[in-house]
A and B are shown apart, each in its own frame.
Chain A
Amino acid sequence: MQLDKIVIDAFEKNKIELVTTVPCKQLSGVIAELEARESMTHIPANKEDEGMGICAGAFMGGKRSAIIMQNTAIGVTINTLVTLTQFYRLPLPMLISFRGELGEPVACQVEMAVHTKALLAQLGIPTYHFHNRDDVHELDEILKYTFMCNKPVAILTDASFWKGE
């Protein structure tokens, strides 16, 4: 089965009904799969902090929500993650393309890659790194964990993971 489908199936199984996205080349398949899924509302956002605001509102409105974004967005969203998502104890699965890892063609992406895990650790955000294709099988448990503990949780997905078809 395609990874894109497995990922969105896990979202659906965990009753996630609203997903906001800012695209990354590495995420194009998963975003297309989301867009095609009848059971889920896809709201493209212009910036990831805006997307997290939409997710916060949706959750308080009774719908589980999630965000799909690039790791560079950690730099955009720190204030929102701490003063909204964490301060109000809101669950937020973050499916993140981990650019700047092995296989990366764009040098600039490495600049944020080297800070990504350190920033997430500093923020106390539970972080999972999908490197091999089989790692996807943890997604269901990670989503359950996120809605159990009411925290933002990061799922970093690198190029090797997405290539491992």
Chain B
Amino acid sequence: MIRSEIIKNLVPVLSGQLVVCNIGLPSQEMHLFGDQPSNFYMLGTMGLSSSIGLGLALAQDKTVIAIDGDGSVLTNLGTLPTIANNVRDNFILLIIDNGSYGSTGDQPTYAGKKTSLAAVASACGCENVIECQADEAVDVVEAAIASKKMTIIICKCISGNIPVPVITLDPVVIRHRFMQAVEA
């Protein structure tokens, strides 16, 4: 299974939830398969999906699911200690770990080699760290939402991409409808 299939399968589980979606193809796939006002699409700023998600979870009580990538977490590795030390039980970080910088042409990341992001997250002090396979993603995310415990999910999958259109929504429109969904 590749990332786009995981995202497609997650659409029903994420329906109505506040979702922060990583730069590049993950946002484009989410937009294609399951666009909703409560999705915040990052059009740039590689690395900050988890940080934006944490800030959002700290500021209000609704569940927040930040979808991130292995390459993006590696570029902002400082995020994991911050998350571990500022526990918010409405926060779920879903790292789709395809072992590559998928959006730029599947160049391998160190997460696909010797580095285990699950072990890194645990070493940083994160408490509910779950590594799962692509076909378990729906069940694991559903259980994490139901658990009402801050959860870090590392979902392993193979790299590969499908053609998806870019997002042409204006960033201010994305932000405006997202903030309305937060308040609703």
Contact = CB atoms under 8 A, between A and B. Distances in A.
Contacts of B12: none
A57 B168 CA distance: 22
Interface stretch (B39-47, B95-103, B131-139, B155-163): B39-47
A49 B78 CA distance: 10
B45 A54 contact: no
A13 interface: no
A54 B56 CA distance: 7
Q: How large is the interface on B (under 10, 10 to 19, 20 to 34, 35 or more residues)?
A: 20 to 34
A57 B82 contact: no
Interface string A49-84: 111111111111111010000000000000110011
Given A50-B76, A60-B40, A89 B55 contact: no
Nearest to A41: B58
Nearest to A63: B59
B182 A61 contact: yes
Interface in B28-78: 40, 42-45, 47-48, 50-60, 76, 78
A89 B172 contact: yes
Interface residues of A, number: 32
Given A53-B51, A54-B52, A83-B45, A47 B78 contact: yes
B20 A57 contact: yes
Contacts of A53: 45, 47-48, 50-52, 54-55, 76
B60 A62 contact: yes
B52 to A, nearest CB: 4
B51 A60 contact: no
Contacts of B58: 18, 41, 43, 54, 57-58, 61, 63
A96 to B, nearest CB: 19
Contacts of A80: 45, 48
B77 to A, nearest CB: 8
Nearest to B175: A88
Query: 5 closest pairs, A vs B, by CB?
Result: A57-B55, A61-B59, A53-B51, A46-B78, A83-B44
19 contacts: A17-B59, A18-B55, A43-B55, A45-B78, A45-B82, A49-B47, A50-B51, A50-B79, A53-B50, A54-B51, A55-B55, A60-B52, A61-B59, A62-B59, A62-B183, A65-B55, A84-B44, A88-B171, A88-B175
Interface of A: 17-18, 41, 43-47, 49-63, 65, 79-80, 83-84, 87-90
